[in-house]
Copies of this chain bind each other. A is one copy, B any other.
């Protein structure tokens, strides 16, 4: 198997949660053993719609880094970096903005949906509109050919590859590399929120965070949306859209017991409280070691920041090399 170069990352706007774990973090831990992986903490991108709250962005860089270390993303295997520590990414963005039209950016389906969701109205920050160009810089700076992301991000990959082709064509160069989307494993690509909403999302406040205490996890599970028609334990219950069962399906390793519970619930006689109790145990089995590692790293935040800053310096060397090739291809070098 060919060793691929991977770029992926997160916006530091809040704690990472089980949805991130299922959708991306878990697979990063596997990918780092097989491929060359870069993970960016995208503070600049977070600022495009959080310009008024830079402290939230700043403070969550440490939190996200703690989450990474806690789940087992290993700085010895994965190059983790802070976006704003790599000025070359801003420089590449300036060059790439000339290769994409305003109209093309405005038609980007992902950005269009986000603009609607964020209710900017007439006040879309210019930085937000052009963030796909900045994201292209994040990807191509490392010559990534594989970008793990949800299907909803496919338009961003297409935008990236359009810029790559435009660059290589315009400057008759073979400098930049196109990338493929690596979608999450289909069966549990997206974890629903506690409230049964389509997606676990920090902005909806329906998450179980990786840093939550055992008490918080239990409390959140107890609040989970189940089957509203399943009033008494002895009533037959529905599994579809029943959040504790969706989570058990995602996390329970004892599949025989899981199937038994499902059948029991459907024919009646299994109460929601019991199901939730099992889920709490299952989640704790996963979360307790993560929490323990997180707490351990959190004792020395200065050391954690030192790790990501040092790792960013390594990432910067790679980005600087690509920028140099880009400038050479354009002939924008002065000696």
What bracket does the count of chain A residues touching chain B fall in? 35 or more
Assembled-state Cα–Cα distance A335/B125 (Å): 29
Complex contact B91–A87 (CB within 8 A): yes
Q: Judge whether A101 and B125 touch: CB under 8 Å.
A: yes
Closest to A124 in B: B102
Question: Which chain B positions have C-beta within 8 A of A58?
Answer: 331-334
Contact residues in B for A122 (Cβ distance below 8 Å): 101, 103
Contact A54 B126 (CB under 8 A): no
Does A93 interact with chain B (Cβ within 8 Å)?
Answer: yes
Let me know if A90 is at the binding interface, CB within 8 A.
yes
Which residues of A (160-180) have their CB < 8 Å from a CB of B?
170-171
Q: Which residues of B contact A228 (CB under 8 A)?
A: none
Closest to A82 in B: B334
Q: Which residues of B contact A191 (CB under 8 A)?
A: none
A144 contacts chain B at the CB level, 8 A cutoff? no
Given contacts A52-B170, A130-B126, contact A332 B100 (CB under 8 A): no
Q: Is A290 an interface residue (CB 8 A)?
A: no
The stretch among A42-50, A147-155, A229-237, A258-266 that forms the contact with chain B is A42-50
Chain B residues whose C-beta falls within 8 Å of the C-beta of A250 in the assembled complex = none
- Bound Cα distance from A85 to B335, whole angstroms: 11
A305 touches B334 (CB 8 A): yes
**Which residues of the other chain, B, contact A91 by a CB distance below 8 angstroms?**
84, 87, 90
Q: CB distance B125 to A54 under 8 Å?
A: no
- Interface assignment of A61: CB less than 8 Å from any CB of chain B: yes
- CB pair B130–A130 under 8 Å, yes or no, is yes
Flag if A127 contacts B103 (CB, 8 Å).
Answer: no
Binary interface encoding of chain A residues 63-100 relative to chain B, with 1 for a CB under 8 A from any of its CBs, else 0: 00000000000000000001011011011011101111
Cα distance, A95 to B61, chains bound together (Å): 17
Contact A125 B103 (CB under 8 A): no
Q: Per a CB cutoff under 8 Å, which of B54, B95, B127, B330 touches A331? A: B54
Interface check A205, CB cutoff 8 A: no
Contact (A101, B130) CB under 8 Å given A87-B90, A93-B90: no
Q: Is A318 an interface residue (CB 8 A)?
A: no
* CB closest residue in chain B, given A128: B98
Q: Does A140 contact B (CB under 8 A)?
A: no
In whole angstroms, how far apart are the Cα atoms of A254 and B54 in the complex?
62
A332 to B60, CA, bound (A): 11
Give the residue of B52, B90, B309, B330 whose beta carbon is less than 8 angstroms from that of A94. B90
Determine whether the beta carbon of B87 is less than 8 Å from that of A332.
no
Contact of A61 among B61, B103, B334 (CB under 8 A): B334
**A123 to B99, Cβ gap below 8 A?**
no
Which of B55, B127, B331, B334 touches A97 (beta carbons < 8 Å)?
B127
Q: Is A181 an interface residue (CB 8 A)?
A: no
Q: Given the complex, which residues of B lie within 8 Å of A49, measured CB to CB?
A: 98
For the complex of A and B, 10 pairs with smallest distance between CB atoms: A97-B127, A51-B98, A98-B127, A90-B90, A54-B330, A87-B87, A97-B126, A90-B91, A102-B124, A90-B94
Interface of A toward B, CB cutoff 8 Å: 43-44, 47-49, 51-52, 54-55, 57-58, 61, 82, 84-85, 87-88, 90-91, 93-95, 97-103, 105, 122-130, 133-134, 170-171, 305, 308-309, 327, 330-335
